[in-house]
Amino acid sequence: MNTAELLVQCLENEGVEYIFGLPGEENLQLLQALKRSSIQFITTRHEQGAAFMADVYGRLTGKAGVCLSTLGPGATNLMTGVADATLDRAPLVAITGQVGTDRMHIESHQYLDLVAMFAPVTKWNAQIVRPSITPEIVRKAFKLAQAEKPGAVHIDLPENIAEMAVEGAALRKDSKEKTYASLQSIQQAAVAISQASNPMILVGNGAIRASASEALTEFATQLNIPVANTFMGKGVIPYTHPLALWSIGLQQRDYITCAMEQTDLIIAVGYDLVEYSPKKWNPDGNLPILHINLTHAEIDSSYIPKVEVIGDISDSLHEILKRVKRQGRPEPLSLKVRDEIRADYEQYADDYGFPIKPQKLIYDLRQVLDAEDIVISDVGAHKMWMARNYHCLRPNTCLISNGFAAMGIALPGAMAAKLVHPNRKVVAVTGDGGFMMNCQELETALRVGTPFVTVIFNDGGYGLIEWKQMNYYGESTYIHFTNPDFVKLAEAMGLKGYRIESAEDFIPTLKTALDDDVPAVIDCPVDYRENLLFSQKSGDLSCLA
């Protein structure tokens, strides 16, 4: 057995199902070992796509997704997806090939110090410098990747080490035990909630990772406390729940801003500062905060909790609930904005203007998809509309990258989602800019047999940047481009391609595309004049007492 074969045994021991990546000269031994493995190697068209696939796989399963590249340019291509996993809190293990240790001390073809390069974007990384340490490195990598807060780790395998003979075996995985909050912190939290006249829950992705949806919904219902979710916390409480205030996180004033301004206690559950800076909703740091999470709060002048409840989130919520005294379950002031939020959402149901308003596209998308179906949003102007207007009944059914917020994640992410949940419908929602960044992975999806639908919000430019330029300067610059014929592009790749010619076309076209047995692309002209109209409306928004 050589080191590469031992490494593969260790990956099998960790329950790895897929490795996404590209072959290279410096990972030949590892690829040969995988050929005799139960692990399925999926050859992608770009290393960034491979990393995004591993990223989304990790986020959906809680198990580290694995991506592989060769050295040099292959490794640098992984970087964006690896960084995204770290800031989006998705467990990921990146493996890179490397030159032999015998030529690292001199200038060498394609050699970079990958351990140093990946260090800033990973939780931990290491080079396998002796064959015998392989089991320890792999076990540590997966343990750290999957531990709170999850993220990316990196293993670097020099080619001469990979082919060395070795004796050894994978290490036994240690048991994962729950940790529980202290009784003192639970009692302090119960007192804080009991004394608050108008508390509000802010829930983030940590509650999804902790499988705390049911506990959170019961907690809010029993105490009659409204709930707002971050972009990455969608579905923790069903959007149809009478206490759900939907998503917060737009960097502009919105109805939910009024609710934040009226509260006298924020109960932050599984909230992560990387998702939405507290300086946006608590700029002066005066708002009392109760922090309920698996990890302690980060240091931030606008986020200084009066109580931190650190431990299993579901257990903490149950224990606090038993001790809170909120007689009469008063009607929360923040619920006064609920009707306005819903009315704003519903007004686009019968809007058939063309090009289609982003609110209408998203409204219709929600009508077609079932509660368990999955949407992966790319990054751009459409992401802001998806965050505000696409609502979920279940956790992990709308995935938005809002930690690192990397363009190009939607297509490879949708393929990973289809691998994880082959019986669910999967839709990648992307702008034309993000689509062109990783559209090559549609060939991978076709080859692997993962049919999903890509909906392109087509405006011929980088719409989010134009939105910000117009808000700042009243004019835009350097944001426009031309696009290929997306229908012909899809057909040239062996896919199905559709173009929307009227607002009435979208729902029947989407239903047809979801029934296709190959990946499908829908080109949707979008009316992004709505961006500035929203900015104007939000600027004029005043909160009623």
pLDDT digits (tens, 9 = 90+) for 195-221: 999 999 999 999 999 999 999 999 999
Q: What are the tokens at 467?
A: 């939105």
Q: What are the tokens at 223?
A: 């105490």
What pLDDT is recorded for position 537?
78
What pLDDT is recorded for position 545?
44
Alpha carbon distance 134, 4 (integer Å)? 9
Q: What are the tokens at 264?
A: 């006298």
Which ranges of the chain have pLDDT less than 50?
A: 545
Beta strands (DSSP E) in 250-386 are 265-269, 289-293, 307-310, 374-377
Is residue 343 within a helix (H) or strand (E), and if so which, with residue range? helix 338-346
Helices (H) and strands (E) in the chain, counts: 23, 18
What pLDDT is recorded for position 411?
98
Adjacency order of strands within the sheet including 426-431: 398-400, 374-377, 426-431, 453-458, 520-525, 496-499
Alpha carbon distance 101, 114 (integer Å)? 13
- Helix/strand/coil (H, E, C) string of 224-283? CCCEEECHHHCCCCCCCCCCEEEECCCCCCCHHHHHHHHCCEEEEECCCCCCCCHHHHCC
Question: Do strands 92-98 and 152-158 pair parallel, antiparallel, or not at all (unpaired)?
Answer: parallel
Length of the chain in terms of residues written: 545
pTM across the whole model? 0.95
Widest CA span of the chain, in angstroms? 75
What pLDDT is recorded for position 286?
92
